[in-house]
Amino acid sequence: MLQWNVTSVRGKTKCMMKSSDCVIKHAGVYSTGLAMVGAICDFCEAWVCHGRKCLSTHACACPLTDAECVECERGVWDHGGRIFSCSFCHNFLCEDDQFEHQASCQVLEAETFKCVSCNRLGQHSCLRCKACFCDDHTRSKVFKQEKGKQPPCPKCGHETQETKDLSMSTRSLKFGRQTGGEEGDGASGYDAYWKNLSSEKYGDNSYHDEEEDEYEAEDDEEEEDEGGKDSDAESSDLFTNLNLGRTYASGYAHYEEQES
């Protein structure tokens, strides 16, 4: 509960009204702990001492004042959340982009681990520039190396890390038609093409089976047609001896009877 002492300018543990620039009147009474909190920082959400110097200095000197997310380029007041730091490239991240960024942060923008300036293997990697550098090309006249630390990146000055200590991966580019599902126009990858060829080679037996099935279906249709003709002939034989008398269908008309 006393973490505000870290953010306080003077780091006091107790405050007395007579000997301080306290903006809260508490004459004759020591204020400690939460009683010393005068404000909460809008950027880092730290507790600030209620002394006049702390209140006027911390908001300007807060390290997160100009912190913007490296992915969406939003500040604290834009996204309204907490600010995180990438554990690899140490850039600022918002709460929405922290997981996706760190998952893809250790991917180089090159296809190999070779140095950007030469063809040798890069022992040092900069995760801000997403590039590798050899021992010779990490030496820069602009950025000087501090004792006990890794050499800085010659491009951005960020501290590099040894490639062998990181689970680095390179960018992969695939050319040509890739294996995939059949599209609307019937196009598919080379894999499907070779599968079709192999199915044609070993598909002779299935072709003969399909022909036999077609022949059997045709025979069944012919038998059904013959059976239908026989039934029509039997029904016509039943009505051959039927006599309905003189009808219009037989050519008889009522005016013929009157004339006779």
Q: Where are the alpha helices (DSSP H) in the chain?
A: 4-7, 52-61, 76-79, 98-104, 190-201, 204-238, 254-259
Alpha carbon distance, N-terminus to C-terminus of the chain? 132
User: Across residues 165-190, what is the average pLDDT?
Assistant: 58
The pLDDT of residue 2 is 40
At 5, is the pLDDT very low, low, confident or very high (cuts 50, 70, 90)? very low
CA distance 93 to 91: 6
Which one is predicted more confidently, 227 or 214?
214
Which one is predicted more confidently, 24 or 193?
24
Across the chain, what does the average pLDDT equal? 70
User: Across residues 215-228, what is the average pLDDT?
Assistant: 67
Lowest mean pLDDT among 34-48, 216-230, 245-259: 245-259
Hey, what are 94's tokens?
Answer: 């918002």
What is the greatest pairwise CA distance in the chain? 151
At 1, is the pLDDT very low, low, confident or very high (cuts 50, 70, 90)? very low
User: Across residues 229-239, what is the average pLDDT?
Assistant: 63
Say whether pLDDT at 8 is over 60: no
User: Across residues 221-237, what is the average pLDDT?
Assistant: 64
The pLDDT of residue 121 is 82
The pLDDT of residue 190 is 56
The pLDDT of residue 3 is 46
The rounded percent of the chain whose pLDDT value lies above 70 is: 55
Reduced to 3 states (helix: H, G, I; strand: E, B; else coil), residue 124 is strand
At 4, is the pLDDT very low, low, confident or very high (cuts 50, 70, 90)? very low
Which one is predicted more confidently, 94 or 232?
94
Q: Which of 167, 120, 124, 166 is nearest to 143 (CA)?
A: 124
Q: pLDDT per residue over 236-256, tens digit each?
A: 666 666 666 666 555 655 555
CA 66 to chain centre: 28
The rounded percent of the chain whose pLDDT value lies above 90 is: 0
Are residues 13 and 41 in contact, defined by beta-carbon separation less than 8 angstroms? no
The pLDDT of residue 140 is 76
Q: pLDDT per residue over 50-66, tens digit each?
A: 777 777 777 677 777 78
At 73, is the pLDDT very low, low, confident or very high (cuts 50, 70, 90)? confident
Q: pLDDT per residue over 186-204, tens digit each?
A: 545 555 656 666 666 555 5
Which one is predicted more confidently, 229 or 136?
136
Q: pLDDT per residue over 114-141, tens digit each?
A: 888 888 888 888 888 878 888 888 877 7
